[in-house]
Structure 1
Amino acid sequence: MVSAVFHTPLPAHAEAAPVRAEHTPVRTEPIEAPRTTARLPFDWRALWLRVVPPLLGLGLLVLLWQLVAQSTGSGIPSPAFTWDAAVKLFSDPFYSNGPNDQGIGWNVLSSLQRVGMGFGMAALVGIPAGFLIGRFRFLSRMFNPLISLLRPVSPLAWLPIGLLVFKGANPAAIWTIFICSIWPMVINTAVGVQRVPQDYLNVARVLNLSEWKVITKILLPAVLPYMLTGVRLAVGTAWLVIVAAEMLTGGVGIGFWVWDEWNNLNVAHIIIAIFTIGLVGLVLEFALVQLATAFTYEEVKS
């Protein structure tokens, strides 16, 4: 059965009402998508490559150390015995029982004080000298042969000269630090000045800048990475030399402490001193690397 749908026709006089088109305002602002913070997955592989290899290296060192200690007649204490000695030693690192019996903390601080004094004087002399040698060709030709002659000399060869001139062990050690740490700063600073683009200096000549403005506004920003590299090398050299210098001069210092422990046949303390010297040198190196990174700029490529 089919149902029919009937539509009532409109009257003849009735007209359809006009339909008004409503104009909705068009939104011209860009619609921002809801911000969602994408959480990146943790990179376990990077952590593995960063942490595991150093641990394996330390483990290999301890294993070899244990094997050498177990060999007959080596005289090397085991890692466990050295660890116990280190715990006792660093439980009171700043004791003082007289000038020849002081804790390892006082010895490290005394060595750092000598390094700071010698290195500071070397920086005050070496960095300006490097600027002058790199800036003026006459001075470069004058001093380059002297630097080439004196730089390869062993730092300890300067120690007797210091003892003769200064009549004291402490100033002689500072003199040795000075003379061995000045060369990296002079050479690196001079090389940095010589590698400044000639266009920069030509612009300074056109602008009729004074020599002081050329050094402070043009040379110093360009030479700073080279200069900091020289400072880092100089500090590493100074920390290496002070240990050997203190072994010969005596007094309070980590080098003298190592020699004194050898006279007492305390090999465990010597090994502890070796690790302490390495850690202090590592901290100094890391601090200067961070300083150099902070002051080094990269050119922006367009």
Structure 2
Amino acid sequence: MNTTTETLEPIRLATPAAPPAALPNWIKAAARGFMTHVLPPLVIIGLLLVIWELLGSRPGAALPPPSKVVQDTWELIVSPFYDNGGNDVGLAWQMLASLKRVAYGYTLAVIAGVSLGVLVGQSTWALRGLDPLFQVLRTVPPLAWLPISLAGFRDGHPSAIFVIFITAIWPIIINTSIGIRNIPDDYRNVARVIRLNGVEYFGKIMLPAAAPFIFSGLRIGVGLSWLAIVAAEMLIGGVGIGFFIWDAWNSSRISDIILALFCVGIVGFLLDRIVAFIGHLVTRGTAAS
């Protein structure tokens, strides 16, 4: 009797596929940031450009479409630093000339505005005496100061700086004084208990506590400064983005005007973001301490 020996093969179970590697956290965070903060404005801007292109391409349209603007201003875009002498300079030099005036006027406004805001916020007598004057002067339009400044300085450059100064100073004064008046009484009592002198109280109590209000005024002030310089340069002439826009209008270069307005908006946005970023660092450091 023959017996057959059968070899039994072990049963192999299918190994499940390994799950895909998880994306690093920084990639996930970058994707969320793109979807939340970058994609929505890109979509809106794209839609607006498409609408503008369609409307500007119609026969008899008053404004050129974006494609025409880029075509007409291509030399200005690719050569922003050219200098042919006089007022014939590139957009970068025009912007830098305006930013230089803004830097001078805004710095003076910050120094004077914070100082006067502290005075008005600390002194009831100063508040009653100066606040009505501030409320009246701050309603005067920026360009209304230009003839007075030209009569006083007899030169366009300091006159433009004065217009920036007088435009930016009011929100700085008002917001600083509000911040000083809103300092909690507990802070003042602690300063008395530990016997802080005037300088120590100013640096350790007053400015840190009022910093959020001060930087709110500084942000408003820098925006008004940029608005004022563009308008003032249209009248005083010389190198500057305001005069560039006015000169382009007189020469019927509508595409140049549109490009300049775009650059003005970008620079104004960056100025606001810079002041906001500095304010964020200062106020966060105050809170942490």
Query: TM-score, structure 1 length as denominator?
Result: 0.82
Aligned to 1:143: 130
| Pairing partner for 2:205 from 218, 222, 228 | 218
Tell me if the contact between 2:230 and 2:242 (Cα under 8 Å) persists in the aligned partners.
yes
CA distance in 2, matches of 1:277, 1:153: 24
* Cα deviation, residue 160, structure 1: 0.7
| Pairing partner for 1:261 from 240, 245, 248 | 248
* Cα deviation, residue 195, structure 1: 0.6
C-alpha distance after superposition, 1:131-150 (max 9, x if no partner): 11101111111111011111
| Pairing partner for 2:28 from 42, 66, 69 | 42
- CA-based RMSD of the aligned residues comes to 2.0
| Pairing partner for 1:95 from 79, 82, 88 | 82
Unaligned runs of 5+ in 2: 1-21
Flag the structure with higher helix content: 2
Aligned to 1:284: 271
User: 1:6-17 residue pairs with structure 2 within 5 A?
Assistant: none
Aligned to 1:203: 190
Aligned to 1:23: none
CA distance in 1, matches of 2:233, 2:251: 17
User: 1:42-81 residue pairs with structure 2 within 5 A?
Assistant: 42=28, 47-81=34-68
Bigger Cα Rg:
1
Which secondary structure does the structure 2 equivalent of 1:100 belong to? Answer: coil
Which secondary structure does the structure 2 equivalent of 1:77 belong to? Answer: coil
Are 1:163 and 2:181 counterparts?
no
CA distance in 2, matches of 1:195, 1:183: 18
* Cα deviation, residue 299, structure 1: 5.4
Give 1:51's aligned amino acid. V
Unaligned runs of 5+ in 1: 1-36
Which secondary structure does the structure 1 equivalent of 2:84 belong to? Answer: coil
Runs of 4+ in 1 over 6 A off after TM superposition: none
My pick for the range that moved more, 41-50 or 74-83, is: 41-50
| Pairing partner for 1:84 from 55, 71, 78 | 71
Give 1:198's aligned amino acid. D
Tell me the percent identity.
Answer: 42
Give 1:99's aligned amino acid. G
| Pairing partner for 2:178 from 156, 175, 191 | 191
Give 2:229's aligned amino acid. I
Which secondary structure does the structure 1 equivalent of 2:47 belong to? Answer: helix
Tell me if the contact between 2:234 and 2:243 (Cα under 8 Å) persists in the aligned partners.
yes
Q: Assess, with a 3 A threshold, how the Cα gap between structure 1 residues 290 and 46 changes in structure 2: closer, same or farther.
A: closer
Aligned to 1:175: 162
C-alpha distance after superposition, 1:6-48 (max 9, x if no partner): xxxxxxxxxxxxxxxxxxxxxxxxxxxxxxx995593656643
C-alpha distance after superposition, 1:202-228 (max 9, x if no partner): 222233332222212211111122212
CA distance in 2, matches of 1:124, 1:49: 38
Tell me if the contact between 2:208 and 2:283 (Cα under 8 Å) persists in the aligned partners.
no
